[in-house]
Amino acid sequence: MKRSDLTEFAVEEEGFKLKIRRGVNGLPLVSTTRGSTTPFLPGAESTGQTASPVAPSAKSAATPGTATEVEEEGVIYVKSPMVGTFYGSPSPESKAFVEKGAKVTETTVVCIIEAMKIMNEIQAELKGTVLEILVENGQPVEYGQRLYKVKQG
């Protein structure tokens, strides 16, 4: 941006949006939104000596339910009860367990988390309608990671 006369620059790809605008003092204003494709392991892309603390708490997708975020009204989350790999359907060929808009109850199996070669069926343990699926098939997940955004009730 510095080398050009651009005052504004934006790029949008699947799951990733970046917008840079020249600020008042010539410094860039950066805003990014990360979609569910971001690997949750924060250091995966970090290079260089001074590792900027890309702490898990800085990434909303991976935050294990700390109080630092403002919760939306009536929105709850299905969180991962274990460490492993997320699968949204019982097998690669089958349909997903739940899609956007699906109604779930406490005992609805929403996904499988594979840990140490064992496939664990994960129940919703809450009641409501699925608003968004926050993780991708085959994605590694940590304890407490948000998997499904659900409208309570």
Distance CA(108)–CA(96), nearest Å, equals: 13
Question: Which burial class, exposed, middle or buried, applies to 89 when counting CB atoms under 10 A from its CB (0-12, 13-18, 19+)?
Answer: middle
Our CB check for another protein shows the closer of 84 and 128 to be 84
Among 1, 18, 85, 149, indicate the residue that binds another protein (CB under 8 A).
85
Tell me, rounded to whole angstroms, the distance of Cα 78 from its chain centroid. Answer: 12
DSSP 100: T
Site membership for another protein, residue 147 (CB under 8 A)? no
Minimum CB separation of residue 142 from another protein in Å reads 4
Among 5, 44, 92, 94, indicate the residue that binds another protein (CB under 8 A).
44
Q: What phi and psi, each to the nearest 5 degrees, are found at residue 149?
A: -95, 125
Window contacting another protein (CB under 8 A); options: 13-21, 29-37, 52-60, 92-100:
52-60
Among 42, 78, 104, 130, indicate the residue that binds another protein (CB under 8 A).
42
Site membership for another protein, residue 36 (CB under 8 A)? no
Distance CA(40)–CA(134), nearest Å, equals: 12
